[in-house]
Chain A
Amino acid sequence: KAGVTQTPRYLIKTRGQQVTLSCSPISGHRSVSWYQQTPGQGLQFLFEYFSETQRNKGNFPGRFSGRQFSNSRSEMNVSTLELGDSALYLCASSSTGGREETQYFGPGTRLLVL
């Protein structure tokens, strides 16, 4: 089975712009979670989608949003970018999102905000 894929792998944006990141889960997986990784804050949970519904949300401002499509692919959007949004954004998929399941991560999208 192919692993989790994320596009693009690298992005450079300027403050005030918006950005959309994409994540394709492992075939058959219906749960997709997003995490932000920064040197200062470490790994932080953004949100989780299951069957096109946001099921869980972390403590991030409303500028961070996401959605999931019927084929389980997910996108996250960040509007009005700030310098502090520079980070590695990781998505992870699992079959149904049960806590007994392992989450499999993609390679990440590295976002640099100038």
Chain B
Amino acid sequence: AQTVTQSQPEMSVQEAETVTLSCTYDTSENNYYLFWYKQPPSRQMILVIRQEAYKQQNATENRFSVNFQKAAKSFSLKISDSQLGDTAMYFCASADLTNKLIFGTGTLLAVQP
């Protein structure tokens, strides 16, 4: 069974600085998909970025980028130029063979003014 681990329950960053959220996963599959979702206080789950495992290039989406290390089974999220609106719970997730999303326990990110 796939597992996703987020070892940082909470993190804090100053506005305009850069922060990296960690995620490790375990899977026996060769091709798979990884996601970062953001859940602000409104509780709406919003896709931040996705990575296809067979692609070598790290995904980027504006201020958000990932560092995907396939051999190490690591999938960290880097947020550059942090903004107050980035304050949220961030979930790392993988999609299993049936497209069920397996979520980590989340990292609560607070952006300080």
In the complex, what's the smallest C-beta–C-beta distance from B32 to chain A, in angstroms?
8
Does B44 belong to the interface (CB within 8 Å)? yes
Complex Cα gap A94–B95 (Å): 13
The tally of residues in B whose CB lies under 8 Å from a CB in A reads: 25
The contact of B101 among A45, A98, A100, A110, by CB within 8 Å, is: A45
Evaluate contact between B103 and A42: CB separation under 8 angstroms. Answer: yes
Interface pair B100/A107, CB less than 8 Å apart = no
Chain A residues, CB < 8 A from B37: 105
- B103 near A48: Cβ-Cβ < 8 Å: no
Q: Which residues of B contact A100 (CB under 8 A)?
A: 33, 52
Q: Mark A47-74, 1 if CB is under 8 A from B, else 0.
A: 0100000011010000000000000000
Give, as a whole number of angstroms, the nearest-CB distance from B8 to chain A: 15
Tell me if B97 counts as interface (CB < 8 A to partner A): yes
Which chain B residues numbered 21 to 59 have a C-beta less than 8 Å away from chain A?
32-33, 35, 37, 42-47, 50, 52
What are the residues of chain A within 8 A of B44 when measuring CB–CB?
105-108
| Given contact pairs A88-B43, A100-B52, A42 touches B106 in the complex (Cβ within 8 A) | yes
Interface residues of B in 64-113 (CB under 8 A from A): 91, 95-106
Specify the chain B residue showing the minimal Cβ separation from A108.
Answer: B43
Interface size class of A (residues with CB under 8 A): 20 to 34
* Chain A residue contacts of B105, Cβ below 8 A: 42
Give the distance in Å from the alpha carbon of A55 to the alpha carbon of B96 in the complex: 14
B residues near A48, Cβ cutoff 8 Å: 98-100
Interface residue A99 (Cβ < 8 Å from any Cβ of B): yes
How far does the alpha carbon of A55 sit from the alpha carbon of B50 in the complex, in Å? 24
Q: Is A21 an interface residue when CB atoms closer than 8 A count as contact?
A: no
Sample (18) of A-B pairs whose CB atoms are under 8 Å apart: A31-B99, A33-B99, A42-B103, A42-B104, A42-B106, A43-B103, A48-B100, A56-B98, A90-B45, A97-B99, A99-B95, A99-B98, A104-B47, A105-B37, A105-B45, A107-B44, A108-B43, A108-B45
B: residues with CB less than 8 A from A are 32-33, 35, 37, 42-47, 50, 52, 91, 95-106
